[in-house]
Amino acid sequence: MKFKSQTESEAQVKIRMVTADNRIPALIKFILKNNPNEHNTDIVPDIVATHFNQGSKDYIKWVKEQT
C-alpha cells in the first residue's frame, strides 16, 4: 500500500511459506534479517502467521516432518 492504494512493482518480492507453529519465531527473525525488499524502504516486511488448528492430519504431519 502506498498513498492508501495498492501498488505493484516488478522489483518487489512476495513469498508465502508454510512451517510448523514452533518454527514461526525463527522464520520471522530470518525474514527481518534477510528482507528481500530491503532496497525499498517504503515497504516494511508484511508478515502474517496463521496457526494450524484444524486441517488434514496428513498435511499437518507432513509440514511438521519437513520443518
How high is the pLDDT of residue 11?
A: 65
Contact between 52 and 23 (Cβ < 8 Å):
no
Question: What CA–CA distance (Å, rounded) separates 12 from 14?
Answer: 7
The pTM assigned to this predicted structure is: 0.61
pLDDT at site 7: 66
Cβ contact 17:27 at 8 Å:
yes
Q: What is the pLDDT of residues 10-54, one digit of tens each?
A: 666 777 888 888 899 998 898 888 876 777 666 677 788 887 778
